[in-house]
Structure 1
Amino acid sequence: MIPKKVILDCDPGSDDAIAMMLAMKSDAIDLIGVTTVNGNRIVPKTTENALRVVQFMKSSVPVYRGCEEPIICNEIPGRKPGLPRVTLNDCHGDFLPLPEAEIRTEKEHAVFYLVKTLMESEGDIYVAAVGPLTNLAMALRIEPKIAGKIKQLVIMGGGHCGANASPAAEFNFYADPEAAKIVMDSAIPKVILPLDATWRACLSEEKCKELAQLGTPEAKVAAALVQKRIDNLKVNDVSEHNYALRHQAGTVAGAMLYRYDNHMAPIHDALAIAYLINENVVTELADANVDIDIAGGLCDGRMVADFHNTKKCKAPVTAKVALNSDAGLFTDMLFAALGK
């Protein structure tokens, strides 16, 4: 099998780091570049974290520093002055628990790297976007033709029946709603992995211990990162966020609540790489007309996936949206890749 050429656009982040490790360890992925963006942390920190992972993995994958601010909105927290960010306590930390990077980024900006690499390609490059979509949106603005050069764009973002950065929106789309809308409005073939899917692919504390016991450096680091995420959920288990979940409509709320109560944590971004390795990790995928709320109100950054009118009124299908995932297969894939 010929490995898929993949560019990973990310904002490391603990789950981004595991996504990077999974991509580098998989025989099905040829990771040709990593681009960083403002998101979980500011770009100097997300870039340093990406470099730390590349160095730790003894990889030669180039890292390109990307956009430091959203296209229009303020950085979060503070999409608007005085508007607090409603989210879980932080589970990332400023820097990954890896040695400080001694390697450096490429000189070219991430946006120009995307434009150049995609335009020079034969349309055989996959992009996994697991942070705010600022880099990709800017690349589309500079050269709209890249939409026809991406084989498939796999996005971790949005929520059909769930949210985590505000009462209405998921973090990546909330961080730069305008960028998300630009990408959604493009002709790029898109698969979206929202919270509905990622919250069903979790690791328990028991599985986390089993991962560490595999004994490889990668497995030990990944297990430590997941355990930190689990510990974070324990802290939040009695918070008002958990109270809100108990009164939130939608099936993903029940899935999230079950995992809170049983000390399990999602590795959101790694599911995007897992999907590129084996599409069977997503068990329910539906055609939808997808839009993003950018009105600036309470639902700013909300993903609106219209499944009904694509069937009834022939509304154009703009993306495939994952609504469920196979936690067992996802776990097996992580163990197989990080344990070798």
Structure 2
Amino acid sequence: MSNPSVLGWPTFHHAKLTPRTAPLGTVAKPLPLIIDSDPGLDDALAIACAVVRPEINLLAVTSVGGNADVHHCTENALRLLHLYGADDVPVAEGAVGPLTGPLERATEVHGEGGLGNTKLPKAPRTVEPEGAVALMARLLEASPEPVAIAPVGPLTNIALLIRSYPHLSPKISHICLMGGSVGEGNSSASAEFNIYADPTAAEIVFNSGLPITMIGLDVTHHATLDRSILDRLKTLPGASAKTAAELLKFSFDRSAAWGQGEKMAIHDAVAVLHFAIPDLVGVARYHVVVDATQGPARGRTIGDANPYRLKRDKLEPNCDVGLTIDSQRFADIMVDIYSKLP
């Protein structure tokens, strides 16, 4: 009879943390950044990070259908920037749905309009008429230095940018995306929502040869806030903090109703903060491919960091993957962000 206390080999490779490859903005030299987003409860907090952090120069917010219909997402971006006192940041509307396959939405999580039950004042600024991909291309062309992109929704717009303007790839310094997982998914057991919503686009992005950091569920499920944050936000004077508390309460209530506890993972903010804070996220180098088939693993980001397999298959790592974060420090950073907003 075998000894049940003797364990066999682990069923997965424990990747070791490695130095980050993503660029860092500084107060002296802020990093030019475009956010491509589907606002979105956690997107609202991600945009706040980009507005406040002095290490980031937010050039634009572009919208994509995902958490809600793209028209709601566009309007949410305009209104959030207005709330945050950043009406000077242009907004352009992007793809309604994926390059191929069915339309996916996360309205059961974010509400039909994307921001729960919150109603924000209308913004004075209107959307840029040229559209998301053309605006990104124009900003890349005009920038005297390469521009970072933080896609925190489905990757449709980014794939279209890469495919339509290949000559501008050298003007993209880094793509730090929120999406994917080397472990379990959330839209399915295999796939995280942003990748699941457009696996074809994700495949184009990961095969592009551009420098990429994947901020997936492996790290964002540790970037959580709980109800204790509400009291901290409510003591802050600005309307932005009160709105953040309202958005978070909606999420906590919904999570509790589903029997999942009273926490919210602030997925998208991690991707933005990675460009501003050098040691917030611990990363490891992986070779990542996307399953864009129609099978049960559709949308899965298959990550391999096993040195033996990579050498055997003559593969090189193609991205950083976020693995670790200090949850308490992250919560403190989010409170600090909203303490600085109107």
> What TM-score do you get using the length of structure 1 for normalisation?
0.86
Cross-structure match for 2:67: 40
Structure 1 pair 95/288, CA: closer, same or farther in 2 (3 Å)? closer
Q: Deviation per CA, 1:16-64, whole angstroms, max 9, x where unpaired?
A: 1111112111111110101000111111111011111112122110001
Q: Report the alpha carbon displacement of residue 264 of structure 1 after superposing the two structures with TM.
A: 1.4
* Counterpart amino acid of residue 57 in structure 1: Y
Q: Flag the structure with higher helix content.
A: 1
Is residue 11–residue 130 contact of structure 1 (8 Å, CA) maintained in 2?
yes
Cross-structure match for 1:64: 92
Cross-structure match for 2:303: 305
Looking at structure 1, the residues matched to 61 and 251 of structure 2 have their Cα atoms a distance apart, in angstroms, of: 23
Q: Report the alpha carbon displacement of residue 164 of structure 1 after superposing the two structures with TM.
A: 1.1
Q: Report the alpha carbon displacement of residue 120 of structure 1 after superposing the two structures with TM.
A: 3.4
Q: SS of 1:33's equivalent? A: strand
Is residue 8–residue 127 contact of structure 1 (8 Å, CA) maintained in 2?
yes
Looking at structure 2, the residues matched to 92 and 324 of structure 1 have their Cα atoms a distance apart, in angstroms, of: 29
Is residue 91–residue 232 contact of structure 1 (8 Å, CA) maintained in 2?
no
1:38-187 paired onto structure 2 within 5 Å: 38-59=65-86, 60-76=88-104, 89-96=108-115, 97=118, 98-187=120-209
Structure 1 pair 314/54, CA: closer, same or farther in 2 (3 Å)? same
Q: Report the alpha carbon displacement of residue 145 of structure 1 after superposing the two structures with TM.
A: 2.7
Is residue 32–residue 56 contact of structure 2 (8 Å, CA) maintained in 1?
yes
Looking at structure 2, the residues matched to 52 and 73 of structure 1 have their Cα atoms a distance apart, in angstroms, of: 30
Looking at structure 1, the residues matched to 154 and 134 of structure 2 have their Cα atoms a distance apart, in angstroms, of: 17
Cross-structure match for 2:18: none
Looking at structure 1, the residues matched to 108 and 194 of structure 2 have their Cα atoms a distance apart, in angstroms, of: 16
Cross-structure match for 1:281: 280
The 10-residue stretch of structure 1 (323-332 or 129-138) with the greater mean CA deviation from structure 2: 323-332
Structure 1 pair 313/122, CA: closer, same or farther in 2 (3 Å)? farther
- Taking only aligned residues, the RMSD between alpha carbons, in angstroms, comes to 1.7
Is residue 74–residue 93 contact of structure 2 (8 Å, CA) maintained in 1?
yes
Cross-structure match for 1:269: 268
Looking at structure 2, the residues matched to 39 and 127 of structure 1 have their Cα atoms a distance apart, in angstroms, of: 18
Looking at structure 1, the residues matched to 156 and 54 of structure 2 have their Cα atoms a distance apart, in angstroms, of: 29
Cross-structure match for 2:336: 336
Q: SS of 1:74's equivalent? A: coil
Q: SS of 1:289's equivalent? A: strand
Cross-structure match for 1:324: 324
- The total of aligned residue pairs comes to 307
| Rg larger for | 2
Looking at structure 2, the residues matched to 293 and 74 of structure 1 have their Cα atoms a distance apart, in angstroms, of: 16
Query: Unaligned stretches of 5+ in structure 2?
Result: 1-27
Percent of residue pairs identical: 34
Looking at structure 2, the residues matched to 176 and 279 of structure 1 have their Cα atoms a distance apart, in angstroms, of: 30
* Counterpart amino acid of residue 100 in structure 2: I
Q: Report the alpha carbon displacement of residue 88 of structure 1 after superposing the two structures with TM.
A: 9.3
Looking at structure 2, the residues matched to 18 and 291 of structure 1 have their Cα atoms a distance apart, in angstroms, of: 29
Cross-structure match for 1:4: 31
Query: Unaligned stretches of 5+ in structure 1?
Result: 78-86, 238-259
Match of residue 20, structure 1, among 25, 43, 47 = 47
The 10-residue stretch of structure 1 (144-153 or 317-326) with the greater mean CA deviation from structure 2: 144-153
* Counterpart amino acid of residue 101 in structure 2: C
Is residue 206–residue 288 contact of structure 2 (8 Å, CA) maintained in 1?
yes
1:208-227 paired onto structure 2 within 5 Å: 208-227=230-249
Looking at structure 2, the residues matched to 311 and 324 of structure 1 have their Cα atoms a distance apart, in angstroms, of: 26
* Counterpart amino acid of residue 327 in structure 1: S
* Counterpart amino acid of residue 293 in structure 2: A
